[in-house]
Amino acid sequence: MRKQLVALAVLSGLTLLAACTDPYSPGQRALGGAAIGAGTGAVIGGIAGGGQGAGLGALIGGAVGAAGGAATTPQRPRPYYQ
């Protein structure tokens, strides 16, 4: 029960902090992409290759996710004046 409460508290905190990002910052996009890529890579690597596969998948997924996140950063929109 205690582990579930701790997990819920951590997820709640992360959800609240997710709103404090700048979608036009390449650094923040790279970190977000790395986190998503590492998590996805670890899951796929763990399923495909066991323990060592999870580590390798996380490493590769994190690198690809960071590169993808930085490369897909949108340009800041111009202000519109009437």
Give the pLDDT means over successive 10-residue stretches in the chain (82 positions): 84 77 86 90 90 91 94 86 70
Radius of gyration of the chain (CA): 17
| Whole-prediction pTM | 0.69
- For 10-77, the DSSP string reads HHHHHHHHHTT--TT-HHHHHHHHHHHHHHHHHHHHHHHHHHHHHHHHHHHHHHHHHHHHHHTPPPPP
